[in-house]
A = this chain, B = another copy of it.
Amino acid sequence: MNNRKGRITIPTDESYVEGTKKIAELWGADAVRDCDGVKLPKNPKEIADKVYNVYFVDRGNHEWAKNNPDEWQHMFVMTPFITATESTVSVHLMDTFFDQQVKPDFSEEAVKHMEVMDRTTGQVWNEWEVDAENGNVIIKNAVPFHQYTVAFLMISLWHPVHMYNYITNNWDEPYHIMYDPYYPKTRKFIRENLQRWCDANPESNVVRFTTFLYMFTLVYNQFGKERNVDWFGYNMAVSPRMLDDFEKEYGYKMRAEYLVDQGYYNQTHRIPTKEYKDWMQFIQNFVTETVKELVEITHKNGKEAMMFLGDCWIGAEIFGVRYKELGLDALVGSVGGGVTVRMLSDVEGVRYKEGRFLPYFFPDTFFDGNEDNAVAEINNNWITARRAMMRNPLDRIGFGGYLELAAKFPKFINRVADICDEFRYIYDTVKTQTPKNFAKVAVLNAWGKVRSWMCNMTAHELWYQQSYSYQGIYEALSGLPVEVSFINFDDVKNGRLDEFDVVLNAGDAGTAWSGGEFWADEEIVTAVRKFVYNGGGFIGVGEPTALQRNGKFFQLSDVLGVDKECGISLGEDKHNLTAHAGHFIMDGIESNVDYGEDKKNIFALPEANVIDIVFSERFKRNYSVGEVKMATNEYGKGRSFYITGLPYSAQNAKLLYRAILWTAGKEDMDKKSYCTNPLTEAHFYGDRYAITNNTSEKQTTTFYDMNGVAQELILKPYEIKWLKD
């Protein structure tokens, strides 16, 4: 029997102490947390060893905010493109912004960072002046029918998460204004304020920082609706003084354009520029030094410091080089599936990592008659997360909301109790045994390690039509028996490819994910070719290595065996139009493959092996092109696999695993710790196997052990069958 206690966090409040105790006992909870709108009981340690309290570093103290308006936070923004129809153009800066969130900073130190661009020529436009009274910038001697933009500093008036919650929940309380610790007065204040808070909250032994200093990019428009969002964006981590200091330290001016980036705001999908990476590092340095002090204060007060992954996490890059310097005890984040588990569990430099599971115990789920749906929701959340847990588990799991609501659903309470036990058993197994990995996979993009498990993400956990066909790759990888690393093009240049069996490049042309201009670098293409030629594997999804240059669109079309017809090579006949059945990769893939958003106009080079090709239904004449969906290629001793898209599904996860084995030249690893039914998966831990049923239905599968010996297994819904080796 495994440990029945620990690793679980539950919410509670002062009006539900006895109920909390019972559920804590049943679930083995050892931590309680507060929740919006409720207070912790007076003696929370009677219920649990750990007591979490939310703490805001630079918002929430209205008095400080009110008394120090010169130290409020800023953001750098850009107007829309404005077409000049006359030679004088008056631009009202607030036209597309929300006046409750921001106001332009017309101070001298802010205006000197303003920048007007002629977007038709791409040049800076120097003829303009500020009309602060009317909130305008007046562009002079404009060229008719050129477009202009103004980039400028705004003062933040309202923390956007507070704003969102306030508006959504009809709160009635003062707006949370963000004061900026980059100013020494506020920096001193936040230290003292934390000490005061520690003094005032002796019952809390875990300070749950929500979060540190700067919010990710979240800007609203004139109608109070979201205008720009980037969970990774640094545009709200900026101030006139930072800009001045940056220039002193880095020896060049951080131009407005480097931050507003033509209106793309350096969002994470953009290939990062040198200037933006410098800015990120500049902010990280400041955040590291400042948060370090806060963590020290926390520790001096005998408390643990826990970071919430979200909100004001900018500058505390969890996969960044300075992360461990923060000295944090814990990291907590919400869990939507395998990717979000690994985004937490793979972090180094904190002692423990906790995932907050769904559903929240809120009335939108926990209302009369909805118990079965609540159970289904926790099952679904747990099962998708569990795949990743089997490879690298979180140290703790937790819940949020009002426990009293959940307590009305006994089926739910009992199901969570089972999950807590299962989690602890998985944890003990994976942490004491070594999960067997069958290949080492490197995901190659412009970001590399710093965006581990964060590829193709815009707003955290939100679904985007343009992203899911790539995010499926990472969701699949999060639960596969392979070692996953995230590398960038510098890593390629630094000779790191040889550490891996397979390199994966996935994304749309011109994005950070496929890499864009990096594929013009001969050192990079040469290194990847050499790696594959000498026996490495290469997997491309969507528009890998894409860059229109030197007669190709996929710069490594020779490695991939495919390229894209972009309408400029129609006169080149495509003859490789026959799909070949029976490939190793397709063994056990019985349904049609789901390519998600897919890519059109992919064709195979003569030497490639086409696995799937689609012909237009409109085909009218004896002249056929066909669009390749999957192909493999042999390249020296190495191999490649191409697919147009890979949204997450059980079958696509199996397909990707088989593609990894095949491109790695590891066909001999097939049918080792392996299930034939894609809805089930096997994991080997040295002394035992786990065979998981990832569905709510009974499943039958053939299971192969490490010796390739097969047996038929029947698995109950959600079951993990543990078998001794």
A-side residues, CB < 8 A to B, are: 81, 83, 85, 119-122, 143-147, 149, 217, 221, 225-230, 233, 262-265, 267-270, 458-459, 462-468, 507-511, 513, 522, 525-526, 529-530, 533, 548-552, 558, 565-573, 575, 596-597, 600-601, 616, 618-621, 623, 625, 627, 636, 647
Partner of A122, one of B263, B549, B618: B549
Shortest beta-carbon contacts, A-B, top 3: A262-B551, A508-B567, A145-B529
A122–B636 CA distance with the chains assembled, in angstroms: 24
Residues of B within 8 A of A552 (CB): 81, 119
Residues of B within 8 A of A568 (CB): 264, 267, 269-270, 510-511
Closest to A625 in B: B465
Q: A147 with B83: in contact, given A511-B567, A550-B122 (CB under 8 Å)?
A: no
A558–B120 CA distance with the chains assembled, in angstroms: 12
Residues of B within 8 A of A569 (CB): 263-264, 267, 269
**A567 and B269 contacting across the interface, CB-CB below 8 Å:** yes
Partner of A464, one of B463, B464, B625: B625
Q: A120 with B507: in contact, given A465-B625, A625-B464 (CB under 8 Å)?
A: no
**B533 and A85 contacting across the interface, CB-CB below 8 Å:** yes
A569–B329 CA distance with the chains assembled, in angstroms: 36
Besides the known contacts A263-B551, A267-B570, A463-B620, 8 further A-B residue pairs in the complex with CB atoms under 8 A apart:
A81-B552, A85-B636, A221-B575, A459-B623, A463-B621, A467-B570, A511-B567, A618-B647
**B227 and A567 contacting across the interface, CB-CB below 8 Å:** no
A694–B202 CA distance with the chains assembled, in angstroms: 87
**B551 and A466 contacting across the interface, CB-CB below 8 Å:** no
A139–B340 CA distance with the chains assembled, in angstroms: 51
Least CB distance from A627 to B in Å reads 8
Residues of B within 8 A of A225 (CB): 573, 575
Instruction: Pull 6 A–B residue pairs with CB atoms less than 8 Å apart, ordered by A.
Output: A119-B551, A120-B550, A264-B572, A269-B567, A459-B623, A596-B618
Residues of B within 8 A of A548 (CB): 510
**A571 and B526 contacting across the interface, CB-CB below 8 Å:** no
Specify how many copies of this chain sit in the oligomer. 2
Residues of B within 8 A of A620 (CB): 463
Partner of A573, one of B229, B530, B623: B229
**B510 and A567 contacting across the interface, CB-CB below 8 Å:** yes
Least CB distance from A444 to B in Å reads 16
A600–B596 CA distance with the chains assembled, in angstroms: 13
Residues of B within 8 A of A575 (CB): 221, 225
**A522 and B146 contacting across the interface, CB-CB below 8 Å:** yes
Q: A463 with B143: in contact, given A508-B567, A567-B510, A568-B510 (CB under 8 Å)?
A: no
**B618 and A468 contacting across the interface, CB-CB below 8 Å:** yes
Residues of B within 8 A of A619 (CB): 463, 465
Closest to A605 in B: B80
Q: A623 with B462: in contact, given A144-B526, A145-B530, A225-B575 (CB under 8 Å)?
A: yes
**B120 and A570 contacting across the interface, CB-CB below 8 Å:** no
Partner of A566, one of B227, B508, B627: B508
Residues of B within 8 A of A510 (CB): 548, 566-568
Least CB distance from A707 to B in Å reads 39
Q: A120 with B572: in contact, given A262-B550, A463-B623, A551-B81 (CB under 8 Å)?
A: no
A338–B630 CA distance with the chains assembled, in angstroms: 38
Closest to A143 in B: B526
**A573 and B227 contacting across the interface, CB-CB below 8 Å:** yes
Least CB distance from A710 to B in Å reads 36
**B525 and A558 contacting across the interface, CB-CB below 8 Å:** no
**B265 and A529 contacting across the interface, CB-CB below 8 Å:** no
A567–B508 CA distance with the chains assembled, in angstroms: 7
Residues of B within 8 A of A616 (CB): 465
A144–B619 CA distance with the chains assembled, in angstroms: 42
Least CB distance from A318 to B in Å reads 20
A228–B573 CA distance with the chains assembled, in angstroms: 6
Residues of B within 8 A of A120 (CB): 522, 525-526, 550
**B119 and A550 contacting across the interface, CB-CB below 8 Å:** yes
Closest to A636 in B: B85
Least CB distance from A253 to B in Å reads 21
Closest to A600 in B: B597
Least CB distance from A558 to B in Å reads 6
Residues of B within 8 A of A268 (CB): 571
A565–B465 CA distance with the chains assembled, in angstroms: 11
Least CB distance from A34 to B in Å reads 27
Residues of B within 8 A of A618 (CB): 465, 468, 596, 647
Q: A571 with B145: in contact, given A263-B551, A264-B551 (CB under 8 Å)?
A: no
Residues of B within 8 A of A509 (CB): 566
Least CB distance from A309 to B in Å reads 18
Least CB distance from A250 to B in Å reads 25
Partner of A533, one of B122, B145, B270, B558: B145
Residues of B within 8 A of A530 (CB): 144-145
A304–B54 CA distance with the chains assembled, in angstroms: 95
Least CB distance from A541 to B in Å reads 13
Residues of B within 8 A of A145 (CB): 525-526, 529-530, 533
Least CB distance from A652 to B in Å reads 14
Least CB distance from A234 to B in Å reads 12
Partner of A466, one of B463, B533, B570: B570
A465–B233 CA distance with the chains assembled, in angstroms: 40
**B269 and A570 contacting across the interface, CB-CB below 8 Å:** yes
**B263 and A572 contacting across the interface, CB-CB below 8 Å:** yes
Residues of B within 8 A of A147 (CB): 558
Least CB distance from A434 to B in Å reads 36
Residues of B within 8 A of A597 (CB): 600
Least CB distance from A463 to B in Å reads 5
**A464 and B570 contacting across the interface, CB-CB below 8 Å:** yes
Least CB distance from A221 to B in Å reads 8
**A466 and B229 contacting across the interface, CB-CB below 8 Å:** no
**A83 and B623 contacting across the interface, CB-CB below 8 Å:** no
Which of A550, A573, A625 has most chain B Cβ within 10 Å?
A550
A521–B201 CA distance with the chains assembled, in angstroms: 64
A221–B573 CA distance with the chains assembled, in angstroms: 10
A568–B121 CA distance with the chains assembled, in angstroms: 21
**A571 and B230 contacting across the interface, CB-CB below 8 Å:** yes
A551–B81 CA distance with the chains assembled, in angstroms: 9
Least CB distance from A181 to B in Å reads 26
Residues of B within 8 A of A146 (CB): 522, 526
Residues of B within 8 A of A270 (CB): 568
Closest to A269 in B: B568
Closest to A525 in B: B120
Q: A571 with B625: in contact, given A81-B558, A145-B525, A530-B144 (CB under 8 Å)?
A: no
